[in-house]
Each structure stands twice: as C-alpha cells, then as structure tokens.
Amino acid sequence: MTPRTLRFYRERKLLPPPRREGRIAWYDSRHLARLRTINALLARGHTLGGIADLLTAFEHGRVGAGTAELMGLESMLGTPFSEEEPVRLTPEALADHFQGAVTPENLANSLDIGYVTVDGEEIVHVSRRLLESSAALVQEGIPLSAVLTAGRELRTHTDAIARVFSELLRRHVLADDLVDGRASEITETLERLRPLAKQIVEAELGLALDRRVRSELDGWLRPSEATEPSEPAQQPSEPPAQETTSGVPNRTETPGE
C-alpha cells in the first residue's frame, strides 16, 4: 500500500485520519482492518463511491443487520493477531543497537526477511520486541548473521503453524454460510480464539525447549574430548634364528679355510 493510495482513501472518506506525531503519521490495526474490508468489497465488484457510502451508513447505523454483521466480521478477520509496535530508526541508531554488526549483507537479509523497510532516510523495524530481542542475542555473543539465519528458519516454521490455525478456523468456525445470521456469533468466537492461539503456541514452544534442553544437556556439560589415536604396542624384537643342522649351530665359513 503506497502513501499515495492512503491519501486517496482518506480524501474519499474511506479511511479515518491517522494519529500524528510531528511529521509522522501512525496507522494502527483499525486502519488495517478497514483497508482489508475495502479490498474485500472491491473484490466483490463494489465501486469506491459505493464502499464509501456503505461505510458511512454502517458507521451511522443505517444498514441492515445482516450487512452490519458481515462487515463487522470482515473487520474482525482483518484485525491483526500481532500487537507489534514498529520502530523508526536512523541507520546510525540501528547500528548502535547491534554493536556495529549491521553490515550491508546483514541489512540486505533483514530487508529480505521483512524485519526492516526503508522509508526515506529512516529505517522502520517491524517489531520493537523483535528488535530488542535480536539485539540482546547479539550482546550475548551470537553473530547477527546467525540471528538472521535463525529468524528466517523460524519464519518458515511459524508460517506452517499459522496454516494449521487458519485451517482449523476455516473448517470449524467459518464453514457455514456467514450471512445466515451467524456473523455476530462467529465474530465473538474469533475474539475468544485470538488469544488462545498465542497461548497454545507459547506453551508448545516452552515444552519443546524443555525437551530439547533435557536431551542435549548432558552433551553440553560433558562434551566429548578428542583423543589422539594411541600408538600400536611394539612387540619386542627377537634375535634372528640361527639355522642348525642336527642341533649343531652352523659355522660361518671364511675364505681360505
């Protein structure tokens, strides 16, 4: 979503104004939910003018119960599960967070993963918690490149976890006709399920860490020591056997004898 599109939506009364701090405009989860509702209505063939009228009527209570319920449900589905606070930083401040480990390669990886974006002369980190946690890992001695590699792998696994929950919702909560008087009920169900998903993942991660630490603790505390290969034991040398004839030692003959 470009700034130009956001300004256009605000001018058309499709979006409420953002919260401003100086020259910075802050958009929150309500704006994101509204944008997703607009996109859903556009996908159904509504015009922007019709969507603006519908949203205005919805806000003033002038729409039917079924439409209001459905729009409320779409807003709920568009509400982020995360509660992350973006952080705006200068490049120098970002480097200070990571003790000078922000190399061009690490910055490129952060951009590719989606941790940071560039906005003019500033860098925006997607999450204050991720920023501070990553910086703490670097302070403990873990290279930033290793932290980013682990973050990329974690992103793959968390995407898989999100698919599991999404499939549960699709099959068992959103399976019925949404317009058939159940939109309000489903909205309330989603409100209850939202924190439960986080609790389940947090509990499972804690249990998994416990299992992993227990299984590897012995190796951490008593790492196997490399031992030099032992030299094969040398057998005592035996004196060369003397050939005998009838038990009499042979005599070495010398010339002239």
Structure confidence by residue, pLDDT tens digits, 171-222 = 887 765 554 555 566 667 777 888 899 999 999 999 999 999 988 887 777 7
Going from the C-alpha of 54 to that of each of 39, 63, 81, 104, 147, the distances in angstroms are: 14, 8, 26, 48, 47
- The verdict on residue 246 lying in a domain is no
Q: What is the DSSP string of 178-216?
A: TTTTTHHHHHHHHHHHHHHHHHHHHHHHHHHHHHHHHHH
Alpha-carbon span 92 to 199, nearest angstrom: 36
Least confident of 22-31, 58-67, 152-161: 58-67
pLDDT computed for residue 134 by the predictor? 95
Residues 6+ apart with CB under 8 A from 90: 121, 122, 123
Q: How far apart are CA 182 and CA 180, in angstroms?
A: 6
Same domain, 40 and 65: yes
Taking CA 159 as the corner, what is the angle to CA 158 and CA 164, rounded to the nearest 5 degrees?
95
Asked whether residue 22 falls in the same domain as residue 71, the answer is yes
Among all chains, which residue has been given the structure tokens 């490149």?
145
Question: Is residue 193 in a domain?
Answer: yes
pLDDT at res. 234: 55
Residue where a domain stops, chosen among 152, 172, 192? 172
Q: Is the pLDDT of residue 159 over 90?
A: yes
How far is 130 from 127, CA to CA, in rounded Å? 5
The answer to whether residues 96 and 132 touch, using CB atoms and an 8 Å cutoff, is: no
- The H-assigned helical ranges of the chain are 3-11, 29-43, 48-59, 65-78, 91-97, 104-113, 128-139, 144-172, 183-221
The predicted model scores a pTM of: 0.56
* pLDDT exceeds cutoff 90 at 11: no
Please check whether residues 120 and 151 belong to one and the same domain: yes
Rounded to 5°, angle at Cα 170 from 166 and 176: 160
Which residue, 134, 149, 172, sits at the end of a domain?
172
Whether residue 95 contacts residue 102, with contact meaning beta carbons closer than 8 Å, is answered with yes
Q: 211 exposed, middle or buried (CB, 10 Å; 0-12, 13-18, 19+)? A: exposed
**Which tops the pLDDT comparison, 151 or 74?**
151
Residue 166 has pLDDT above 80, yes or no: yes
17 shares its domain with 89: no
98/41: higher pLDDT = 98
Domain count, the chain: 2
Q: Are residues 29 and 72 in the same domain?
A: yes
- Among residues 135, 121, 67, 60, the alpha carbon closest in space to that of 91 is found at 121
What CA–CA distance (Å, rounded) separates 9 from 1?
11
Assess whether pLDDT exceeds 80 at residue 148. Answer: yes
What pLDDT does residue 74 have?
A: 55
- What is the predicted pLDDT for the residue at 200? 95
pLDDT band for 246, please (50, 70, 90 cuts). Answer: very low
Please state, in angstroms and as integers, the Cα–Cα distance from residue 48 to each residue in 42, 65, 167, 208, 224, following that order: 7, 22, 31, 48, 68
Q: Taking the mean position of all CA atoms in its chain, how far away is CA 54?
A: 37
**47-103 per-position pLDDT tens digit:** 777 777 666 655 554 444 445 444 554 555 555 667 788 899 998 999 898 988 889
Q: Residue 42: which domain range?
A: 1-80+176-218
The DSSP 8-state label assigned to residue 119 in this structure reads: E
CB 75 within 8 A of CB 33: yes
pLDDT category at 228 given cuts 50, 70, 90 is very low
What is the identity of the amino acid at 66?
Answer: G
Is the residue at 245 inside a domain? no
Q: Which amino acid would we find at residue 202?
A: E
- The per-residue pLDDT for 152 is 95
Residue range 37-50: mean pLDDT, rounded: 74
**What pLDDT band is residue 142 in, cutting at 50, 70 and 90?**
very high
Q: How confident is the model at residue 131 (pLDDT cuts 50, 70, 90)?
A: very high
- The answer to whether position 36 is within a domain reads yes
Q: Answer whether residue 138 is part of any domain.
A: yes
Give the pLDDT confidence score for residue 39 in this predicted structure: 76
Q: 166 and 185: one domain?
A: no
168, 93: one domain: yes
Q: What is the mean pLDDT of the chain?
A: 76
